[in-house]
Amino acid sequence: MTGRFRGRIALVTGGSQGIGLAVVRRLLADGATVVTCGRSRDKWDDAFADDPRLAAVRFVPTDLTDREQLDALFDGIEEDHGRLDLAVNNASPALGSVGPTAEVDDADTRATLDADLLAPLRCLRRELGLMASAAARS
Ligand SMILES: NC(=O)c1ccc[n+]([C@@H]2O[C@H](COP(=O)([O-])OP(=O)(O)OC[C@H]3O[C@@H](n4cnc5c(N)ncnc54)[C@H](OP(=O)(O)O)[C@@H]3O)[C@@H](O)[C@H]2O)c1
């Protein structure tokens, strides 16, 4: 691996499994300081049990559809690092709003919009703020 992200602060949302976990591993191998999140700490513990190199990653249990939890995640990054250099908005739950349109109710549609539209948008706002801090320093 290259070390090309050495000294960079990276956030990967939903990094406890699947594509997000692969991205976490890659960024770590390339030298980044990596923060990730997911709702379940157990999932992260399973990933960590399989790969002890993940000890270097800061996992923050977070449901990104909960605004306070989302803000706490970014406040923590701000306190610890004061900036963000890379962000991968990968988190997404299993879809509730699947099926024939006539059968998908408002509650499931709202849950999908919260998880897959509003949450990534809120993350992006906070990420851009932290990236602006990084740009102002360089
Ligand atoms: N797999 C595919 O073929 C495919 C194709 C196209 C696009 N994608 C997109 O790629 C991304 C990753 O897909 P994947 O298949 O790797 O997904 P996955 O295996 O289901 O993993 C999703 C990750 O997101 C976390 N997550 C879900 N809801 C969350 C929430 N509300 N707050 C915080 N974390 C949350 C999960 O942890 P917890 O459950 O513990 O929260 C998990 O770590 C998704 O955005 C998906 O839509 C995937």
Best mutation site among 34, 90, 126 for ligand 1 pocket (most ligand atoms within 8 Å of CB):
90
Weakest-pLDDT range from 25-34, 57-66, 100-109 = 100-109
Task: Pull the structure tokens for residue 65.
Answer: 């559809």
pLDDT for the residue 96? 82
Which atom of ligand 1 is nearest to 38's Cα? 34
Residues with CB under 6 Å of ligand 1 are: 13-14, 16-20, 37-40, 43, 62-65, 90-93, 115
- The closest alpha carbon to 37, from 8, 7, 4, 71, belongs to 71
Q: Where are the domains of the chain?
A: 9-137
Q: Is 26 exposed, middle or buried (0-12, 13-18, 19+ CB in 10 A)?
A: middle
Q: How far apart are the first and last CA of the chain?
A: 26
Residue 80 CB partners (closer than 8 Å, separation 6+): 58
pLDDT for the residue 123? 98
Which atom of ligand 1 is nearest to 89's Cα? 45
Q: What is the pLDDT of residues 48-103, one digit of tens each?
A: 999 999 999 999 999 999 999 999 999 999 999 999 999 999 999 988 888 999 99
pLDDT higher than 70, residue 19: yes
Confidence at 1, pLDDT banded by 50, 70, 90: low
Residue 79, Cβ neighbours under 10 Å: how many? 8
Residue 28 CA to residue 7 CA, distance in Å, equals: 11
pLDDT higher than 80, residue 137: no
Q: What is the CATH number of domain 9-137?
A: 3.40.50.720
Residue 77, Cβ neighbours under 10 Å: how many? 21
Best mutation site among 11, 13, 19, 21 for ligand 1 pocket (most ligand atoms within 8 Å of CB):
19
What separation in Å is there between the alpha carbon of 92 and the centre of ligand 1? 4
